[in-house]
Structure 1
Amino acid sequence: MAQKITTIGFDADDTLWHNERFFRLTQHRFAALLADYTDRATLEARLLAAERRNLGQYGFGIKGFVLSMIETALDVTGDRVPGPVIRDLIAAGQEMLRHPIDLLPAARLAVETLARDRRVLLITKGDLLDQERKLAQSGLGDLFHGVEIVSDKTASRYAAIFDRHGDGAARGLMVGNSMKSDVLPMISAGGWGVFVPHGVAWEIEHADPPGDSPRYREIADLGALPPLVAAIG
């Protein structure tokens, strides 16, 4: 009997390994550095607005985050932000780029198990060099049949990726912690979308689940993914 799902895509950040918590730690540091100029809630709102504005120019990742912090620091201080604060923000970004990779529970087992009889792909967005570094340090790189580092995740992008690496989106499944990026566009492309919540989520990635879609599933962690795929077929 032919498999319904032949190709499985995994998101990387906060699906296979921790990532958002490093952004949150840096935001705490950012708030402390600017505490003399504005309150934390206002600062976070201004930073989020800057990140939204800048996505089209900088894309996703640490470098765009640091530039958005610097822009926000200039805005809330009326262009009077002290030089040492800018230097501290750059240092914080460099520390983020060096952070060690900490795999989430069952990540390796899920990829290894599914790679035995399905094609498994890593599909992630963000800075090319940073994502390549994290994949190399994760120890998972050799398990994937293909790696796609993209500027954004859209239905057309998923369709092209699953055509190139598999049997089309209709026989593909995408799993990730972002409803907006990992689940909804994959379902729009005709595939399966599996949401695996992460305790810390970036507000920009929030979206409502497609409750009426027969190709939507939610699991508590990646340990539940191999049985789910087996049940679908």
Structure 2
Amino acid sequence: MPRGLTQLDDRLWFPCAADALDEPNGLLAIGGDLSPARLSLAYRSGIFPWYGQHHPILWWSPDPRCVLRPEALHISRSLQKRLKRQDLVVTLNTAFHAVVDGCAGPRRDTDDTWITTELKQSYAFLHHSGMAHSVEVWKEGQLAGGLYGISIGQLFCGESMFSAQRDCSKVAMVALCQHFQRHGGKLIDCQMQTDHLGSLGAQECPRDAFLEMLYQLRERSVTADCWVPQRIIYDRNSLENRLDP
């Protein structure tokens, strides 16, 4: 076990997120469980689980942290064209389990997934308790993509996204950004930077800055109807104002 890595026990606690290792970046603790109470505490503390099947549970808080401000959303010209087509329907919290299953599907050349059966069960409980949410993108009645994550006040912690058809995970993110902002949401936690997220305007910030924002936003509320199951109508007319230079 690497020096400084905390071994969790049955007690409901975490070490300070700022104490995470530099290498591997952000690894904070090992063990514990995936109970809804522990997951809730983790997200409220700037910590998230990430580990492979048949491996012990690992808890992370990387530095820097990848975040996306809804008002800073970038939309490429190709994505703009996709969004202006009329063949997609976007909904909120109408097919949470199907979205998680889509995110847990095999990726490219591997059959492995970090979304284990135990994690699915825990996220399902959080969904039923009103803490975990999904955005679904439909084409001709079939689920074409989506994303899911955890809401903490005015912060949304994105967990995973998938596309069964081209760009549909990006469409889900555009819809989430517009909907979340309209209802008082301020920040989307993307955890770790990728080219996919960077193309949408996600940026890295120091972990200390992220934690400071988290501690403030988790105590503030979005509007009461933010997470009610519904169809999301994203504003196509505003898309031209979000184009990348």
- TM-score for the superposition, normalised by structure 2: 0.28
- TM-score for the superposition, normalised by structure 1: 0.29
More helix by share: 1
More strand by share: 2
Larger Rg: 1
